[in-house]
Amino acid sequence: MRRVPPGIWALGFVSLLMDVSSEMIHALLPVYLVAVMGTSVLAVGFIEGIAEATASVTKVFSGAISDWLGKRKLLAAIGYGMAAFTKPVFPLAPTVGWVVTARFVDRIGKGIRGAPRDALVADLSPAHLRGASFGLRQSLDTVGAFVGPLLAILLMWLTMDDFRTVFWIAVIPAFLAFALIVAAVKEPEGRPRRGRVRMPLAPAELARMGGSYWAVVAIAAVFTLARFSEAFLILRAQSQGLPFVLVPLVLVVMNVAYAASSYPAGALSDRTDRTAILVAGLVLLIAADVALAFGPGIAGVAAGVVLWGLHMGLTQGLLSALVADTAPEDLRGTAFGMFNLVSGVALLAASVIAGALWDAFGAEGTFVAGAGFAAVAMVGLMALRARRAARPPK
C-alpha cells in the first residue's frame, strides 16, 4: 500500500469520514422520520427514492463539467462541502420539510463529488497502480459504511435514544472530510492541461470514448442486474429466522468482507488481468446466490452474505479501474458520470425485478435469477477480455 500515491490515501480517508457521518444519520433517519416526526413509511420511501435518483443524475453533469473546466478537485470539494454544511440541519430541523431539503441537498452534494472524485483517482494513480488505487479508496469508503451504523447504535445506547445528539456528533466527521480534501488533496502536476472539451456530453464526444468503454458500461449494467439491493439479503435473513435486533449485522458482515477484499483485489489486478479478477468475482456472486437460495437456515444466509461481500470487493473497484483504462483522459469525468448513471438505473431495475420474482416465486426464484444474470455478465466479460487481448489499450 505504501506505493499508492498520498493523494489516493487522502481521498480514501475523505470518503471514509464522510461515509461515517452520512451512515450515522441515514441508519437512523427512517426511524426518526416515522417515530419522532410522524412521517408515513410511504413518504420515507418517496424521499429516499428521489434523493438517490437526484444523486445519479447529478453525477453525469458534474463529471462533464469537470472535463469542461479541467478541474476535478474543485467540484469534489464543493460536493463534500455541501454534504458537510447540510449535516447540522438534521438535528436543527423543526419540521419534516427541513429534513427533506437537507437530504435532497446532501444527495446533490454526493452527485457533484462522485464522478470528479473517481476521475481524480484515475488522474492521480499511475497506470500500473490503478487497480490498487481504486481498491484502496473503495476499501476505506466501505469501512465507513459499516463503522457509521455501528457507531450510531453505540451512541443511541449511550444517549438513551437521543436522535439529535447522535446527529450532532455525526457533523464532526463530515467537516473533517471537507477540511481534508481542501488541505491534503491536490490536482496532479506535470500532466497536459485538461479543459479542452467544450461539449463533453455532445454525441461526438460520447462516441470518442470508444467501443471498449461502452462495452464496460454495458457489462456493468448486466452485472448490476445480478446484484440487486442488499435489502434482499436482509429479507432473506429475516425469512430464515434472524431476530430483528440482529438484522443490522447482515450489512455489517457484508461490508467487512467487502472492505477486506477490495484493496487486495485491486492490487492483484495490476499484476494480472483485471477481467480475470472480475470473472472470479462473478463466480463468487453465483456461489452467493446459490447459498442464499438453497443454503440451510441462518448458516446458509451467513455464507451467502460473506460471499456477496467478497464479490463486491473483487468487482466494484475494478469496474472503476476499467472505466479509467478505457476512457480518454480528457473525458474521464463524463465517463464516470455516465457509468454511474447507467449503474444506478440498472440497480433500480434489478431491485424491481428481484421484488417481482420474490412475490411470484419466493426467495429462491430471486437468487436463482441473480445467478443467471451473473452468468450473462460473465460471458460479456470474456468477450471483452478477448477484445482487449487482441487490441491492448494505449
* Rounded Cα gap, residues 272 and 281, in angstroms: 15
| Residue pLDDT, tens place only, 110-132 | 888 988 898 888 888 888 888 88
Domain 1-186 classification at class level: mainly alpha
- The Cα diameter of the chain in Å comes to 62
* Rounded Cα gap, residues 319 and 314, in angstroms: 9
For residue 169 the three cell numbers come to: 456528533
* Rounded Cα gap, residues 5 and 117, in angstroms: 15
- Residue 280 is predicted with a pLDDT of 92
Give residue 320's region: left, alpha or beta (phi > 0; psi -120 to 50).
alpha
The CATH architecture that domain 200-388 belongs to is Up-down Bundle (1.20)
- Going 364 to 371 to 131 to 219, the CA torsion angle's sign is negative
Q: Cβ contacts of residue 303 below 8 Å, gap of 6+? A: 288, 291, 295
| Residue pLDDT, tens place only, 182-193 | 999 888 765 544
Same fold? 1-186, 200-388: yes
User: What is the pTM (predicted TM-score) of this model?
Assistant: 0.77
Per-residue confidence at 394, pLDDT binned at 50, 70, 90? very low
Q: What's the angle, vertex CA 88, arms to CA 65 and CA 58, rounded to 5?
A: 20
| Residue pLDDT, tens place only, 263-294 | 898 888 888 888 889 889 999 999 999 999 99
For residue 258 the three cell numbers come to: 467487502
Per-residue confidence at 202, pLDDT binned at 50, 70, 90? confident
- Residue 198 is predicted with a pLDDT of 65
**63 or 348, greater pLDDT:** 63
Query: In the chain, what are the helix, strand and coil shares in percent, each to the nearest 5?
Result: 85, 0, 15
- Residue ranges per structural domain of the chain: 1-186, 200-388
In the chain, what percentage of residues exceed pLDDT 70? 89
pLDDT at 234 over 50: yes
Q: What are phi and psi of 377, to 5 degrees?
A: -60, -35
* Rounded Cα gap, residues 339 and 333, in angstroms: 10
